[in-house]
Amino acid sequence: MSRTHIQSLMDEGRVVVDGSAMKPSHRIEPGALVVVEIPPPPAPGVPAEDIPLEIIFEDADIGVVNKPAGMIVHPGAGGGAGTLVAALLSRYGTTGGLSTIGGPLRPGIVHRLDKETSGVVVIARSDAAHLKLVAEFRDREVAKSYVALLHGAVKGEAGRIELPVARDLRRRSRMTARRREGREARTDWRVLLRLAGFTLIEAGLHTGRTHQIRVHFSALGWPIVGDTLYGAPRQERISAELLPPLGRNFLHAARLAFSHPRTGKRVEFRAPLPEDLVSYLRMIAHATKTEERLIDASLREFL
């Protein structure tokens, strides 16, 4: 087994020492019990599935999709059905219609959104387009804008968060901003609307760390509504009223701008805020006695 493979198992929390996940630099002591979980090898590819997709734009080089919440972008080592990749293979074919650089499990995939995050995803339809898009993401030339509803009254009208993001060593499904050796991460934000106990914001990502927006705002005490992994309750209670569960994170990738890989022209694509998020925001506004016109004004550029 290669060192790279072992490193990936460590990063996934599959190597534990005396029952706890450790950093790769951890020194083993005599008598320690080391357990390595080796998952089954990945399937040779992903079967196509006839899943409807909302296509924002497509040409011979790229596709731009409005991913719904609840859909995983690509399967992990253990497989998985209902992914964006499976839907893309059904639409564009299993050969020639998507880039191959990501391998058989990730054809066309240049970047991703979390399962419970909706919004704009760009897909590479050729290897040449894939390489150019990857370079843009790496050089931070891609503009990414999200809409999120946070718990609490955010201080100020705009700001910047620059906290490093790293894997949480105690809960491997989470990331954390409390480890100094984390990777550099920057999130800019501005307030769109204030409600009693909540703040609607627009967030711009300058780096693309795993769970970055979720981790950054949770670290400051303002978790995203619906994000139970990072401290939000499953249901919101406003005074005596218990709202129904949202069932997802109130986080939506609203805009994505980059240079087209063939023409070099700057292009921007938008996905309107999903109806379930709009309805939930109106429900909170009603419970907090917020005027309807304020909701409409705050959402005008995102519908």
Q: Which of 11, 50, 114, 296 is catalytic?
A: 114
Which two structure tokens, joined as six digits, stand for 212? 């970055």
The per-residue DSSP string of the chain comes to --HHHHHHHHHTT-EEETTEE--TTPPPPTT--EEE--PPPPPSS---------EEEE-SSEEEEEEPTT--SS-BTTB-SS-HHHHHHHHH-SSSSS--TT-TTSTTBS----TT-EEEEEEESSHHHHHHHHHHHHTT--EEEEEEEEES--SSSEEEE---BEE-SSSTT-EES--TTSBP--EEEEEEEEETTEEEEEEEESS--TTHHHHHHHHTT-PBTT-GGGT--SS-EETTEEPPP--S-SEEEEEEEEE-TTT--EEEEE-PPPHHHHHHHHHHHHHTT--HHHHHHHHGGG-
User: How far apart (Å, rounded) are the C-alpha atoms in residues 188 and 206?
Assistant: 8
Q: Is the dihedral of CA 150, 152, 157, 162 positive or negative?
A: negative
Interatomic CA distance for residues 86 and 99, integer angstroms: 14
Strand partners, 21: 16
Give the Cα separation of 180 and 177 in Å (integer). Answer: 8
Active site residue 114: yes
Residues involved in catalysis: 114
